[in-house]
Amino acid sequence: MTTPSTPVRVLIADDHPVFRDGLASLLATQPNVDVVATAGDGAEAVALAAEHEPDVVVMDLQMPVMNGIDATRRLAETQPGVRVLVFTMGEEDGTVLAAMRAGARGYLVKGASQDEVARAISTVQAGGLVFGASLALRIADLLSGATTPDRTAFPQLTERELEILDLIAAGRNNAQIASALYLAPKTVRNNVSNILAKLQATDRAEAIIRARDAGLGGG
């Protein structure tokens, strides 16, 4: 457990300056937290994390240049020792799953108290998992439900394509998928086309059936 003599090194990534600076100021009052840098987009967060080597990155999801999910995935690949605590406005199931699959260790909704955020940072830094109270039961259902997706059933798909196929199997349309994963509608359309081609599925309905047979789309 982190002690006051060894504060948790934190990087804050959020594209809203007022929120970003406000959170940094609040966390600066915590004796066990040292805010080492702030970033305005995901790409900057990845670069600053390499420079400052924080213990925890407090990551917004909807940011320009590189969104928080892709930034989290990049950090998991390049700096696996860095823990990511997602801090965002949304509670969309697909977004929660995408963030966790990308490597996030915790998920809090903006509006959490200063003490909640500080405790979450300490817990994540120590290797624990954190979810906001309103999300805990839903996360449990989503991540450890009766059906476990068999991701080995589609080895030809990228991780992004699997995320999208999971949402397709859950009955989401392209607009809902774009919103959940913070992607441009055109990007979703292109990914869906690639998925159908790789699965050699004649249409979306066939892809849904095959995905559900493999356990995707549950929750």
pLDDT tens for residues 158-208? 888 888 998 888 888 898 888 888 788 899 999 999 999 999 988 888 888
Distance CA 28, CA 25 (A): 5
pLDDT < 50 stretches in the chain: 1-4, 145-148
pTM: 0.63
Mean pLDDT for all residues in the chain? 83
Distance CA 213, CA 106 (A): 30
Distance CA 134, CA 149 (A): 24
Tokens of 126: 């120590």
* Best CA proximity match to 16, nearest among 84, 70, 67, 63: 63
